[in-house]
Amino acid sequence: SQTIHQWPATLVQPVGSPLSLECTVEGTSNPNLYWYRQAAGRGLQLLFYSVGIGQISSEVPQNLSASRPQDRQFILSSKKLLLSDSGFYLCAWSVNKNTEAFFGQGTRLTVV
Amino acid sequence: GQQLNQSPQSMFIQEGEDVSMNCTSSSIFNTWLWYKQDPGEGPVLLIALYKAGELTSNGRLTAQFGITRKDSFLNISASIPSDVGIYFCAGYANQAGTALIFGKGTTLSVSS
């Protein structure tokens, strides 16, 4: 069966520090991968999605970037965090477009 | 960009009552998905809909893919305290390159 792993679960980082969040999927090949951000009590905002290695689509201009160095690995990064980067970050995967997506447990990021 | 309008934003009901929430879009969608999110966790898929007019049940939950392909609803019958959480609609628009987008969620509170 397929599983998705996301870490760390919580993270507290100072303003201006770098960020690296990792997501990996097991049990499937060439999945579509997604990064979402959820502000407190709000909906899910799509940040990036990828349909293959090295292919990244950005939905919202921001202080973040994403990379897909391997088929089942999706990384969310920042060179210098801002206070506004705080939030709940969720990784998800789907077999392809138009199919159900499955989520990781999320990373709670607090920038101080 | 694409937007999903989900309503109501929140609901406060008594245990045993039925609940209905819906999602609309100005664009045609190929797939509608309904998720539930508990605090501090990733969303969990409840129901997936792939065809216009499709009506699908999952226990006490029933969802329908609108015949215009621009809307969907979710009903919960005989609510119980563990139904508390945030419910999200999500979907893939009928356009090349679009990823999975979400509504802003419906927060459900159930009093016993």
Pair type for strands A55-58 and A44-52: antiparallel
Q: If you measure CA to CA, which chain A residue comes closest to B43?
A: A103
Cβ distance of A101 and B44 shorter than 8 Å: no
Cβ-Cβ pairs closer than 8 A, A with B, add up to 63
Evaluate if residue B2 carries a pLDDT over 70: no
Report the pLDDT value the prediction gives residue A38, as an integer from 0 to 100.
Answer: 93
What residues of chain B lie within 8 A of the CB of A68, using their CB?
A: none
Contact in structure between A7 and A13 (CB atoms under 8 Å): no
Closest partner residue to A98 (CB to CB) among B31, B41, B103 is B31
Report the pLDDT value the prediction gives residue B99, as an integer from 0 to 100.
Answer: 83
Evaluate if residue A61 carries a pLDDT over 70: no
Average pLDDT over residues B12-34: 96
What residues of chain B lie within 8 A of the CB of A88, using their CB?
A: 40
pLDDT (tens digit per residue) in A79-93: 999 999 999 999 999
Average pLDDT over residues A50-64: 88
Query: Would you call B97 an interface residue with chain A, using a CB distance cutoff of 8 Å?
Result: yes
Task: For residue B81, give the 3-state DSSP assignment.
Answer: helix
Lowest mean pLDDT among A14-18, A25-29, B64-68, B92-96: B92-96
Evaluate if residue B102 carries a pLDDT over 70: yes
Evaluate if residue B1 carries a pLDDT over 70: no
Q: If you measure CA to CA, which chain A residue comes closest to B106?
A: A43
Report the pLDDT value the prediction gives residue B5, as an integer from 0 to 100.
Answer: 95
| Mean pLDDT for chain B overall | 94
Confidence of residue A97 (pLDDT cuts 50, 70, 90): confident
Query: What element of type H or E holds A102?
Result: strand A101-103
What residues of chain B lie within 8 A of the CB of A66, using their CB?
A: none
Q: Where are the beta strands (DSSP E) in A14-64?
A: 19-26, 32-38, 44-52, 55-58
3-state helix, strand, coil in chain B (%, to 5): 5, 55, 45
Distance between B112 CA and the closest CA of chain A, angstroms = 23
Average pLDDT over residues A69-82: 96
